[in-house]
Amino acid sequence: MTLAADAIELPSGQTMPVLGQGTWYLGERPARRRDELAALRAGLDLDMTMIDTAEMYGDGASEELVGEAIVGRRADVFLVDKVLPSHASRRETLRACRRSLQRLGVDHIDLYLLHWRGAHPLAETIEAFGELVEAGDIGQWGVSNFDLSDMQDLLEAGGGACATNQILYNLTRRGPEFDLLPWLREHQIPVMAYSPIEQGRLLGHPQVAEVAARHEATAAQVALAWLLRQGAIAAIPRSSNPEHTRENAEARDLDLAEEDVAALDAAFPPPAGPQPLEML
């Protein structure tokens, strides 16, 4: 597998790209399919080779879009998918994964995540993940939207092989910095940040625009660079426009100065105490 030069080492020793592509809401509108395919393929050309999707997105429509986008390029892609909590029993996890494989048109998923914690015992889901790894259907597994107590429960349930925790984390959602991120770093579990530009709401923020102007960059690039500079954090911005995808890719080359970070800290203060993990 060919990965981007900027990559994060997972607990297994394998690596994942530091900057990828999200697909939430993609694939749901036929009129936009051509542009969405072009955006995903542009990202692959720019070494944004991690693509994140989920069975929930468009009830499988996003997976089908991704499958079309990566035809002939599967070896270049680090493919991330997610199982719904309602499907997270041992038996249903196996079935859900194989349905996703069929929609994607691939023989394996590189990283398979539990989308959020549900009612099924974590031990059952972990057992299913292990079976999928053994069968070659997935390379490794992780979780999404797990707060600190959830992660502690996961390890107690036998989840030591967890490769990542995908969470809502950006300049406006800094709650994880107080306790969750330090715990994940201590246990060497990387973070995958979704909605890193806060679904576009950061683009109009004056302080972000001011930092961007100093670097002749875009606000989106500043928001992404702020995440990537921390290390062991990957970001998966969504784009349905090839030009926006190109701008996102260039965020890897943006080096924020200490004065930039200080200005962003003043505009978006870090948490002073524990906060519940937010979700979208």
CA torsion angle 182 85 202 50 (round to 10): 80
C-alpha 40/C-alpha 20 separation (Å) is 10
Instruction: Report whether 270 contacts 173 (CB < 8 A).
Output: no
CA-to-CA distance for 95 and 109, rounded, in angstroms? 14
User: Could you list the active site residues?
Assistant: 57
Find the radius of gyration of the CA atoms of the chain.
18
- Using CA atoms, how far apart are residues 33 and 53, in angstroms rounded to an integer? 15
Task: Count helices and strands (H / E) in the chain.
Answer: 10, 10
> Residues 222, 262, 18, 61: is their CA dihedral positive or negative?
negative
